[in-house]
């Protein structure tokens, strides 16, 4: 399973990846983008931490994923507990 995380705290990127690995998921983490998000492919789950991303970034991500057959999960908080709840809901162990 593949997970793309957009937003969040830069110092937490490694912890996000480690938590996803516990659920047998490969994670890509995008904190900020200069050119927009172009290379995230078509993940099985797209996690959006909306409190730490701009409206412009959110719109560009949603328009880039339009038509892809993946799930989108939004969370206002960018904590490990929030990510764990999302992963538990989608890939419960």
Query: Element (H or E) spanning 32, and its range?
Result: none
Q: pLDDT at position 12, please?
A: 93
d(CA 90, CA 83): 11
Q: pLDDT at position 15, please?
A: 96
pLDDT, tens digit (0-9, with 9 covering 90-100), for 22-52: 999 999 998 876 665 666 777 889 999 998 8
For 56, the 3-state DSSP assignment is helix
pLDDT, tens digit (0-9, with 9 covering 90-100), for 5-22: 998 888 999 999 999 999
d(CA 77, CA 92): 20
d(CA 8, CA 75): 10
pLDDT, tens digit (0-9, with 9 covering 90-100), for 58-88: 888 888 778 776 899 999 999 999 999 999 9
Q: pLDDT at position 65, please?
A: 79
Query: Element (H or E) spanning 66, and its range?
Result: none
What contacts 63, CB < 8 A, 6 or more positions away? none
């Amino acid at each position: 399973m593949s997970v793309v995380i957009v937003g969040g705290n830069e110092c937490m990127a490694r912890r996000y990846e480690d938590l996803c690995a516990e659920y047998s998921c490969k994670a890509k983490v995008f904190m900020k983008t200069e050119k927009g998000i172009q290379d995230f492919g078509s993940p099985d789950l797209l996690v959006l931490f909306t409190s730490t991303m701009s409206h412009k970034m959110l719109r560009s991500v949603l328009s880039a994923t339009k038509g892809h057959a993946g799930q989108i999960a939004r969370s206002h908080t960018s904590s490990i507990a929030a990510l764990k709840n999302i992963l538990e809901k989608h890939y419960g162990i």
